[in-house]
Amino acid sequence: MNTVANLTTRVEKLVGSDRVRASETALQEFAIAGRAPLAVLKPRSAEEVAEIVSFAAAEKLTVVPCGSRSKLELGMPPQRYDLALDMIDIRQIAHYDPGDLTLSVDAGIPISELTATLAGERQFLPLAVPFNATSTVAGAIASGIDSALRQQYGPPRDFLIGAEFADSTGKLCKSGGRVVKNVTGYDLHKLLIGSLGTLGVITRLNFRTFPLPELQGAHLATFPTMETALNFHASLLKSGLPFSNLELFDSEFSVLLAVTLDKLGGSASGSLTTGGWHVFASFEGSAAVLERIARELRKLAGQAQAAHNETLDLQRTQLMNEALREAFDWLRRAAPGVGLLRIVLPQIRSGDVTQLLNLSQPAPLRSAFVLRACNVAYLALLVDTEDASTKTALERGVSELSSRVEAAKGSATLLHAPLWLKDRINVWGAKRPDFALMQRVKQAFDPQNIFAPGRFVGGI
Amino acid sequence: MDPALIRELKSLLGTANVLSQNEDLLLYEFDGSVEKSRPEVVVFPHTTEHVSRIVKLAAKHQVPVVGRGAGTGLSGGALARGGGVMIVFARMNRILELDLENRRAVAQPGVVNLDITRAVEHAGLYFAPDPSSQKSCTVGGNVAENSGGPHTLAYGLTTNHIAALELVLPDGEIVRVGSRHGDAPGYDLCGLFVGSEGTLALVTEITVKLSRKAEAVKTLLAIFDAVGDASRTVVEITAGGITPAACEMLDGWTLRAVEDYIHAGFPRDSAAVLLIEVEGLREAAESQAAAIAEICKTNRAREVRTARDDRERDLLWKGRRNAFGALGRLAPSNYVLDGVIPRSKLPEALEQIHAIGKKHGFQIGNIFHAGDGNLHPIVLYDPRDTEQFKRAITAAEEIIRMCISLGGALTGEHGVGMEKNELMPLLFSDADFDLMRRIHDAFNPDSSLNPGKIFPLSKGCGEIRVRNSGQAAGTRP
């Protein structure tokens, strides 16, 4: 029988005692939904990761890779949680070829560090994800969290060109490569995106980089009703104008956004506190391009009878981009009890949104709604106390919303919820027809189920 | 082949949809590659249900199955390496649905690539993947091979434009993966199946994402007296923060062959031309075109022409799109290679290709997607001259090895197929193969679907059942 003390000694032999932590405080830092690992290991290299996985496989221990630990709450807590891998010391830039627009980086490098390096070459990686200050690049990929720039640059699957990872046999494997166009072998790296560590431990990621835009601009329009805001939103999508981000939100969301903006830099909130519905559009390019887009936006907003309509200066544009990028973080903290749903509907019509919002109206629920780029909506159900009746209302609201969305052939994922709610509701929603194929993928990658068991869709 | 299987196939599909006479099968032993391998029976299903039942019958008789679109592939992906049943999707060629508002189209696999664009262009939309064979290749083949094209530079490969798939697994089960709108939670199965070269499942329905046509397009032709100057121009455009929609290069020898055939206006005495396209808002396209023209001139371009209208643009592209046809006039056959290098290594790679050609006695033409470093060297040869064919294959392999040594990849858009499966160990380790094999076996455990592709046979990981005296195993020397 392996005791915990025994385990600590043995993993210390594997990576050295300075790379193992087993104190109560350390273990709690890595806890997921109150569940702590038996030990935290901090590998120094990809090879060491592979050795640890090999050891875990032989000992039938489970492994959960961690970066900055900002998004560990996503999905379900692991059914078993033996070893936490703290990946933040594996953080080199392995290759960066600005002329080729390719970048190869270790899993644990913080995105903010990459941003600084790339900016030196007037390039960037369009991963505009929450927890920008701390999030590691592999955490951003493995969590599958939405990037605020996907309207223009696509989701990470469009610019992740290769990966290296430790597989369940403890070997380092790779997929893709370091060139921007490549169809050699199966695209296994695409499977890692959003997989929450259930297929392997990512050790390195290869990306296509992009030139930094010359200038950025944005436009904010306010509408008295949801219908007028949605009409304007639809007219923007039809206009063919290139937007780097496009978000439509209700008054509750805009109040929360205003609070965030004030924290970030003072009086940026302006028209956000006046109520109504808002449409925010950001764009980039040369001065002539910015001027043209801003002009057309003002015209379209006028036609859509916007109550208020303004082109933002560079500072306010950047503040808004930053605040919206972090929306996942501040929405989940917006009230003592929050159920944050990520909803993908076949298409967003005003009727659909009305239906969604009506469901969340019964007191004591409040809701904040944002329609983000590419048909992804976030709906936060908020309760100000956590007594029995509010708990019931929150649970009912979340489950009714999920079933409505599923009936409309959409999908609803619970990104954040209090622990008691996660225990009662399937955060991933109903199983989809391709679930059996996902199980085959998991079985092929991880037949012993040692990687983050139970965190993913359908209990994978 | 068991005559009972042919009888059962005819009973399922009708005699008109089953070919089993040798003279009929001959047509299906080729694709666009230099490989050759004959199926034992060719069938033309009309529905997904047909496909499922064909696969079940083949499984019952333990014969392999391979899918095929128009047979324009360049890596032997749609050849029946293990003999058996070839499913040709030519009669599953309907566009099932157009959802213009949400920019989606649902197509059967046998729909010709360009026909999707033709069906939606009235609404200002198009299907972005544009392989040179887009007038004849099918969207099912594009999905299998993850096809590219000139505009991949800006818009990515086929995989970036596929939302959902209906598949038939080797046991006949019909499944759907992906999500028509937005991404559903779960593993990116579409990402896995697109580009799996028909080795995991057969694709029977495809939901594609449609793109919006840009407001303005500027097409430039830059003419150079030295190949090195053209290569450096490509590198500097990218380094200058401009991502053109397309950036194609033709070397001097190739452009002369093209000019003799197409009369696209390429000066016969130049060493290279670049065909560069930028798209976007008028303001962006104009300023980027001006910046590119400036970079071309700094790199000693003899002349930079800008297409003034669609007619001139079409003429410039005609030279590029018909280049392979032009070269086809010069020799009985040609071998179009597909390798990728980091684009900054272009000058070096072109020099090495020239040297390799010289060593083996070939003039190798280069016509390729310069912007993303995707090379297409073309070796002209006479297949009746066995010795020359062998030399062509050796030269091709040396070129691909050179691409790898420069940090590149085996294939940028044509696929591995049975052309490069033996070269896969240049890029992948035993551990990589083990994992890919586990994924393969999770869906295609008996290798009954498209056997002998992607995985190197020399490593014992590409089981093929060769049924009739070796003719099914291909004829590569």
Query: Residue A168 pLDDT > 80, yes or no?
Result: yes
8 Å CB contact of A97 and B342: yes
Residues of A in contact with B281 (CB under 8 A): 241-242, 285, 289, 292-293
A411: in domain:
yes
Q: Which residue of B has its CA nearest to A168?
A: B435
pLDDT for A352 equals 73
Percent of chain A with pLDDT over 90: 83
What is the secondary structure of B455-476 as a DSSP string? Answer: S-GGGT-------STTGGG---
Both tokens of A392, joined, read 């019931």
8 Å CB contact of B344 and A438: no
Q: Please check whether residues A219 and A311 belong to one and the same domain.
A: yes
pLDDT for A268 equals 57
Question: Which of A178, A180, A237 is the mutation pick for testing B, counting most B CBs within 10 A?
Answer: A180
Q: Please check whether residues A186 and A235 belong to one and the same domain.
A: no
8 Å CB contact of B412 and A177: no
In sequence order, which residues have a C-beta less than 8 Å from that of residue A437 and are 6 or more positions away?
B175, B177, B189, B443
Query: Is B432 in CB contact (< 8 Å) with chain A?
Result: yes
Low-confidence ranges of chain B (pLDDT < 50): 462, 464-475, 477
Q: Please check whether residues A203 and A97 belong to one and the same domain.
A: yes
Q: Where does B65-214 have alpha helices with state H?
A: 113-120, 139-145, 152-155, 189-193
pLDDT for A345 equals 82
8 Å CB contact of A177 and B435: no
Distance CA A324, CA A370 (A): 10
Q: Please check whether residues A230 and A250 belong to one and the same domain.
A: yes
Distance CA A212, CA B121 (A): 32
Distance from CA of B169 to the nearest CA of A (A): 10
Candidate from A185, A242, A411 with C-beta closest to B454:
A185
Both tokens of A44, joined, read 């120094």
Both tokens of B71, joined, read 């047979």
DSSP state of A168: T
8 Å CB contact of B344 and A169: no
What is the secondary structure of B209-249 as a DSSP string? Answer: EPEEPPSEEEEEEEEESSHHHHHHHHHHHHHTT---SEEEE
The residues pairing with A412 across neighbouring beta strands, listed in sequence order, are A343
pLDDT for A359 equals 63
Question: Which of B101, B165, B188 is the mutation pick for testing A, counting most A CBs within 10 A?
Answer: B188
pLDDT for B477 equals 46
**Residue A65 phi, psi (nearest 5):** -75, 140
CATH of domain B216-323: 3.30.70.2190
Question: Residue A321's CB: how many other CB atoms inside 10 A?
Answer: 20
Q: Please check whether residues A106 and A206 belong to one and the same domain.
A: yes
8 Å CB contact of A187 and B186: no
Residues of B in contact with A348 (CB under 8 A): none
Distance CA B135, CA B130 (A): 9
Distance from CA of A419 to the nearest CA of B (A): 20
Average pLDDT over residues A121-144: 97
Average pLDDT over residues A126-138: 97
pLDDT for B468 equals 39
Identify the domain boundary among A192, A211, A230. Answer: A211
For A278-310, b/e burial (b = at least 16 CB within 10 A) is bbbbbbbbbeebbebbbebbbebbeebebbbbb
Both tokens of B112, joined, read 């010709």
Both tokens of B92, joined, read 């599953």
**Nearest CA-CA partner of A59 in A441, A448, A445, A444:** A448
B19 in helix, strand or coil?
strand
ipTM for the predicted complex comes to 0.96
Candidate from B185, B281, B341 with C-beta closest to A428:
B185
Task: Specify the CATH number for the domain of residue A318.
Answer: 3.30.70.3450
Distance CA A189, CA A141 (A): 10
CB B469, CB B30: distance < 8 Å = no
Distance from CA of B66 to the nearest CA of A (A): 18
A445: in domain:
no
**CB interface of B with A, residues 56-85, below 8 Å:** none
Q: Please check whether residues A194 and A267 belong to one and the same domain.
A: no
pLDDT for B471 equals 42
Identify the domain boundary among A152, A177, A211. Answer: A211
Both tokens of A235, joined, read 């007219």
Distance from CA of A133 to the nearest CA of B (A): 26
Task: Specify the CATH number for the domain of residue A58.
Answer: 3.30.43.10
- pLDDT (tens digit per residue) in A68-103: 999 999 999 999 999 999 999 999 999 999 989 999
Match domain B331-405 to its CATH number in 3.50.50.100, 3.90.1010.10, 1.10.3230.20, 3.30.70.2740: 3.30.70.2740
Q: Please check whether residues A50 and A106 belong to one and the same domain.
A: no
A444: in domain:
no
Q: Please check whether residues A100 and A199 belong to one and the same domain.
A: yes
Average pLDDT over residues A370-389: 91
- Which long-range contacts link B350-353 to residues 24+ away (Cβ below 8 Å)? B350/B227, B350/B231, B350/B251, B352/B399, B352/B402, B353/B377, B353/B399, B353/B402
A57: in domain:
yes
Question: Residue A357's CB: how many other CB atoms inside 10 A?
Answer: 16
A52: in domain:
yes
- pLDDT (tens digit per residue) in B42-98: 999 999 999 999 999 999 999 999 999 999 999 999 999 999 999 999 999 999 999
Domain boundaries, chain B: 216-323, 331-405
A448: in domain:
no
Q: Please check whether residues A207 and A233 belong to one and the same domain.
A: no
Identify the domain boundary among A166, A187, A211. Answer: A211
**CB interface of B with A, residues 217-256, below 8 Å:** 235, 238-239, 241-243
8 Å CB contact of B156 and A154: yes
Which residues constitute the domain of residue A373?
328-422
Distance from CA of A306 to the nearest CA of B (A): 24
Half-sphere exposure of A98 (CA within 13 A, CB side): 16
Q: Please check whether residues A318 and A352 belong to one and the same domain.
A: no
The residues pairing with B293 across neighbouring beta strands, listed in sequence order, are none
Query: Is B279 in CB contact (< 8 Å) with chain A?
Result: no
pLDDT for A267 equals 62
Residues of A in contact with B214 (CB under 8 A): 240
- pLDDT (tens digit per residue) in A413-444: 999 999 999 989 989 998 888 999 999 999 99
Q: Which residue of A has its CA nearest to B414?
A: A183
8 Å CB contact of A436 and B187: no
> Is residue A360 very low, low, confident or very high in pLDDT (cuts 50, 70, 90)?
low
| DSSP strand pairing (A245-249 vs A308-312) | unpaired
Query: Is B188 in CB contact (< 8 Å) with chain A?
Result: yes
Do domains B216-323 and B331-405 share one topology? The answer is yes
Instruction: Count structural domains, chain A.
Output: 4
CB A189, CB A160: distance < 8 Å = yes
Distance CA B345, CA B407 (A): 9
Q: Please check whether residues A111 and A15 belong to one and the same domain.
A: no
Q: Please check whether residues A14 and A56 belong to one and the same domain.
A: yes
Give, in order, the Cα–Cα distances in Å from B232 to each of B4, B7, B153. 62, 61, 17
8 Å CB contact of B436 and A100: no
Total CB pairs under 8 A between chain A and B: 229
pLDDT for B474 equals 43
